[in-house]
Structures are given as structure tokens and as C-alpha cells.
Chains A and B, each alone.
Chain A
Amino acid sequence: MRIDRTHRSWEVATLVLAVVSTVAYIAYAVRSPAGPRGGSALGLTFGIAGYAMMLYAGLLGARKKVPTWRIGRAQTWMRGHIWLGSLSLLLILFHGGFAFRGPLTAVLMILFFIVILSGWTGALIQHFVPSLMTTRVPMETIYEEIPHVRAQLCQEADKLVATVCGPIGSEEAAAEEFGGAVTTLVEIEQEDRARFRDIYLRKLRPYLSDPDSEHAELADLNRTSEVFDSLRRLLAAPVHPVLDDLENICEEEQQLSRQIRVYRWLHSWLLVHVPLSIALLVLGGLHAIMALRY
């Protein structure tokens, strides 16, 4: 979510709460004989309020699982997640009196810091990376379907090449089965046909069937245009439209590879943020119970 003018009311409310809490904390910390403690009345208040905000933030994941329940718009929940989650940092620090103390609480504090920091990182990422994706991947598709789409691109390339040199790859087998497919062949010399087929099978098809392999020379955009220019010089004019289409397919493949990379940038932080936050909530609850016990 981008933080913009529409967040104004949340920002103000958070600021007010932060100021109120800070004032309360300072007054309390200065006066209490034992120093600021999580177990005192105000400490417990901070703890409960902080945990409630953490829970609300954590429930965003659950909210996304029931998207149609009319329990508040997803954007409201998201804004709450960001602002109340950030405020909970302050409240939990007040609750703990800025100290790590024992093993469980130290673990909780560390987890908490990591969760908050990763969350802020994620929020920052979401201000920049979607635009990056939009501008750098014009031929974007759905990430989960990339393998499926790539398979279709490969088939499309095979079909294109089949118009020049007859059935290729999977089509070849199909053609044999049905006793000769009916394809209109582009009018070029037989030896050109063979040359093109050879080039396709050697250079282009390996890239198309596995675009993310290490040694794909066509993975680089500049290299691709060089390769195709040389192909255009090498092969007769009737084949050039096919070459243009193949180049376009290669470009699409490259963009999909780029999409994969940008997608990872966009979503990897979640691998830190979400699992640790769940662990944090569970352990935090246990801490609350056990601290009250002891």
C-alpha cells in the first residue's frame, strides 16, 4: 500500500496515541519505585494494548482468507496494519521498559524488531517496485502461470518455424502419427530450410525450452538483437517475418525472466515478515500467560 494523503487520519491518530503513551510512560517510569516494569498496572496496559495491536496486524492475513466477508474494507485493514503495527513498537518498548530481560522476552524483542523492520522494508518496497515492474516488464503476465505461458510460447515458436521447415519438435511426432500435417510452407530454397531448422534447433529452441538456464546466450537483450540481425542477413527475405515473430517471442521470454526477478524483489521480504510474526504472536501469547503466572 502506498502511503499518501488518504492516510492522513491514521497518521494523526497514531501520532496522538504515541504522544499520549510517551507522556504516560515518562511519568510512570520516573515515579515507580521498581523502575518501569511490564507487570505493573501501566506496564500491563501497554503490554495488552501493544499485543492487541500486534494481533490486529497479524489478523490481516486471516482477513485476506475471507475476502468477501463484509468486516471492513481490505484497505482499512491494511492501513490499520501499517499504523497500529508501527505504534505497537512504541507500546511494547514501553511495556518492556526498553530492556531485554530474560530468554523468552529477549527472543520476543528480537523477533519483534525483525518483524517491524521487515515490515517497514516491505512498505518501502511497495512504493517503488510495482512501478519498476510496470515499466520494465510491459509483457507481464501472471507469475504463477509463467511456466504454463512459457510452454505455450515454445509451442507457438515451433508452429512458426513449422511454416518454414515443416513440423518441429512435438509437432513432428504428431505429424508422423497423423500421416503428414497440412501446413503451408513459406517459399524458400530447400537448403535454406535446412539451415534455418538447424539454427533454430541449435540456438533458439534450447533457450525457449529453458530460458533460465545459465548459459543461455539469448537471455541478454542486446545479444538477442545481434543474433537475430545476423540471422536476417543469413536467411532469405521470405523468412524475415518469421524471424521477427521469433525475436518478439524471445523478447517476451526475456521479459518474463525479468518479471521473475522483480517479483522476487517484491515478495521475498514476506518470507521474513510473515513466519516470524506468527511465531511472535504465539510466543508473545505464551509470554503473557507465563509472566502473569510468575
Chain B
Amino acid sequence: MAGRTRTTKKLAQRIDLNYFKKLRGIPRWRRILSAVFTLAGLAWLGWHALAGSPKPYNAGPVARSHALFGEKCSACHVSQARFQHTATDQACLACHDGPIHHAEQTFTPSCASCHVEHKGVLRLAATSDEACTQCHASLNENDKNTPPKFASNIRGFDRSHPELTALRNGAKDPGTIKFNHQVHLDPKKPIRGPNGPVQLQCSDCHRSYGLSGLWPFALNAGSAATELPSLPARAYMQPVNYEKHCAACHPLDFDRRFKEPAPHKEPKVVYDFVVQKLASYIAAHPAEIPLVDEPDKRLPTRPPQRPARNAQEWVEQRLADAQLLLWRKSCKECHTPAYPQGYDALPEIPKAAVPARWMQHASFDHDAHQLVACTACHTKTLNSKETSDVLIPSIQTCRDCHHSAANAAEARCFECHSYHDWSKEKPPAGKFTIRQLTE
């Protein structure tokens, strides 16, 4: 490095003092690219703005059922003030009805706060538990009734959710029919059927609606099972009915002369029927007026019968026997007749009062549970001897499958409960024309 020296002055004097005022190289490109990217973004948005479409601001795909008009933002995002285009409750109510839940609730959440759109869900009604627990977790604050009528601190389908009403506090089955499930279902002691011993299945008496097939123990053997009620098909069990489920094994025989059993109706009707039957018989067979019948083995002892003098007497004698058989034996097997006007009058049979639906505030679909054996949930049935036993399963049984886990059954509130009181539903009145939807 013979002659070359580096001094501060020499180095500094190589530099043009205005070099930093012009942008060159990377800073220049930085500036250019800033403009380019920003303008590109604005151009994209501007393009859509000019086309009048707010598509870039779409927060996500709409629910499956709304897919038809999902791209037509103005279907729901209607202009309120000049600027505001929020989708309000009015937008939902234009097509749907959302009847109020309870008159006593302190605030009504908006549709969108529970039914969250723009998440591409399959089922918009599948709300999160928080939609419900926002009130029900502290119901005493959110209910105008004090104290609230329902449990106050429900946080989900966990221990905070109370037991089913029917099973709470030693509640009993209000049904008046005396029935012993254990005897009927005991596998070790088959019961006597019309054609020999039978082993009953649950479905011989309990079936949901909409199923085809014949009732095996019906009055007219094999009457069809189906009947469409107003309740959702296949969800609920059809009510137990004498003609369909009991008649075959528990016929209302009243006299050995008649095969036809008495109708399963009010005592007055049965009385009139028996009288009419006896009268018509003795009228057809007057020769048998003086004949004496052997006492029925099923009846309690009675004084021996005197031969009847006339038809009327004959009928009266046989009528007494029949009444004895019926009121004191057959009916009494299942019912508990009462004699408010004395034993000589006709008994009064209390109403059966078998609950058709056990859960008033929740729905249950047996069809959805067809994979489970009846006794897997209704565990107490096989051992139930008393009518008063409530045989619907406890909520714990539900929780065995329905709990919060990925491989468990749906345990969110909406699965059983409905927020909207559909009994107050108004008839639907959609607002769109086909043209509007398909343009």
C-alpha cells in the first residue's frame, strides 16, 4: 500500500453532500411497491364497490339452508339509516317466526346473537349452550318471577342440569291402572297368553307412531299399529290402549254363553251391553230360562242360583253374575273401581291417567334412539311391580351418552329443548318470489 492513504478528509470529500435527498435502489422500490400494493387493494375493493356488491366484506359463507340467497346480501342486510346496513331481527322475521320463549324473561336476545350466520353451518338452529346459559345460568336475575319457577343455575348438560321433573322428589306415576311390569316380562316365568304361554317384548305394547306392523295382543288380533297424530312421527310411544295391547290376554268375558267380550267402556255402557246381550239371548232361547248355571270358578262364592221364573229374572240372575265377574274380578284386575253410591250401584272407574308425555319442556325422539335396547335405558322396568314406579330413565342415563366430548352424543341444549314457544307459532309467510331468489 505504497502511496494510497486514507484520511477522513479524503474519504469525506468523495461524497456528494446531497446524496440522501434522492431515493434510489431499495428505498425507491419500497415507495413504488407501497403505492402499487395499496392501489391494488383499493382497486379490488373499488371494483366491487362500483359493481354495487359488498362481497369483499362478506364475513363467511351463510348457513346451508340460506345458500340459495347467500350471495344476495340485500336479502338480509337492509339499509336502515344511510350508513347502517346491519342485518336486524326484522330480516329474520320476514320469513321465520321466532315466538317468544317466556313472557317473564327480562331481556330478549336478538336472533343473530344465538343463531350465528356466516359460519357456513349446516343447522342454524344449533345454538351454543351459552345462548341458553346467558339467562339460565343465573335465572334469578333474568326472570321477572322471584323466585324463578325453574332451576336457577344451569350451565349445560352437566350436574347443574336438574333431574327430570318426573323423577324428582319421589314423584310417582299418576297412572291408576294396576300394572306389574315384572310379572309381564319375567323371562323365567312366561305368562299365559291366548294361545299358550308367551314371553312378552317391550314392543308388544309400546311402539312409536308411524311404524307398520300388527299389535300381537290386540282385540282384533293384528290390528295395525300405525296412527298419525299431531306429535312428530316416531318420536313418542303411542299410548297404551286396552284394545291393542291388553285385550288378547285380558278379555272382558262376562258370561260363558258369549264369546264376545264386553266392550271396554264406561260401566254404564258395559251394563247396557250385557243386559242387551242376555235379553236377546234368552229371547232367542226361551227354553233355557229355568236352567241353573254352575258358578264361575273365578267368582267369589255366592248363594246358589234358583232357577229363573221368567226371562227377566233369568237376565237379572245372569246379570248379577256378570256384574260380579266384571266389577269384582275382571275390571278390578287393572282398575280400582270406586262405589260412591254404594255397592248396589254401578262403580265408577277412575280415569287411567297414563301420561302420554313425561317431559313437558323437553322433547325426546325414540326413533333416534332405536339403536339402544329398550331396557338399556328403561332399566327399572323388569323389576317394576308397582304402577307408581316411574319407569322413564333418569337424566343420568341420558348423560351416559349425551355429554361434552367429541365421540359422545349431542349434549347441547337445543338437542332436547326449544327456545321458541312453538305453540304460539304464526303461520309462515315468506316474502321472496322465485325470480328474486334465482336471479
The answer to whether A and B touch directly, with their CB atoms under 8 angstroms apart, is yes
A interface vs B, CB < 8 Å?
30-35, 37, 99, 101-105, 107, 139, 141-145, 148-149, 152, 160, 240-242, 244-245, 248-249, 264, 267-268, 270-271, 274-276, 278-279, 282-283, 286-287, 290-291, 293-294
* Interchain nearest-CB distance for B183 vs A (Å): 50
**Cβ contact within 8 Å between B59 and A101:** yes
**Cβ contact within 8 Å between A103 and B56:** yes
Looking at chain A's contact residues, the main secondary structure is helix
**Cβ contact within 8 Å between B56 and A241:** no
Residues of B within 8 A of A107 (CB): 41
B423 in the interface, Cβ–Cβ < 8 Å?
A: no
B86 in the interface, Cβ–Cβ < 8 Å?
A: yes
Per the 8 Å Cβ criterion, residues 1-46 of B in contact with A are 1-4, 6, 11, 14-16, 19-20, 24-26, 29-30, 33-34, 36-38, 40-42, 45
* Interchain nearest-CB distance for B217 vs A (Å): 50
User: Other than the known A103-B56, A145-B15, A148-B15, what 17 A-B pairs have Cβ atoms closer than 8 Å?
Assistant: A30-B130, A33-B109, A33-B131, A35-B128, A142-B19, A145-B14, A242-B2, A268-B26, A271-B26, A275-B38, A276-B37, A279-B38, A287-B57, A290-B57, A291-B59, A293-B84, A294-B57
Residues of A within 8 A of B33 (CB): 271, 274-275
Residues of A within 8 A of B131 (CB): 33-34
Residues of A within 8 A of B250 (CB): none
The residue on A at minimum CB distance from B86 is A294
Selected from B26, B29, B59, the residue in CB contact (under 8 A) with A102 is B59
Residues of B within 8 A of A264 (CB): 26
Interface residues on B, range: 35 or more
**Cβ contact within 8 Å between B30 and A270:** yes
B interface vs A, CB < 8 Å?
1-4, 6, 11, 14-16, 19-20, 24-26, 29-30, 33-34, 36-38, 40-42, 45, 54-60, 73, 77, 83-87, 109, 112-114, 116, 118-119, 127-128, 130-131, 134
What 7 A-B pairs are tightest by C-beta distance, nearest first? A241-B2, A275-B33, A33-B131, A279-B37, A102-B58, A275-B34, A33-B130
* Interchain nearest-CB distance for A117 vs B (Å): 16
**Cβ contact within 8 Å between B16 and A33:** no
* Interchain nearest-CB distance for A37 vs B (Å): 8
**Cβ contact within 8 Å between B30 and A275:** yes
Residues of B within 8 A of A249 (CB): 4
Residues of A within 8 A of B19 (CB): 142, 144-145, 148
**Cβ contact within 8 Å between B29 and A141:** no
Selected from A33, A240, A242, A274, the residue in CB contact (under 8 A) with B128 is A33
Given contacts A34-B113, A35-B128, contact A101 B25 (CB under 8 A): no
CA distance A99 to B310 in the complex (A): 95
**Cβ contact within 8 Å between A104 and B25:** no
* Interchain nearest-CB distance for B74 vs A (Å): 11
Given contacts A31-B130, A103-B55, A149-B14, contact A278 B38 (CB under 8 A): yes
Residues of A within 8 A of B42 (CB): 282-283
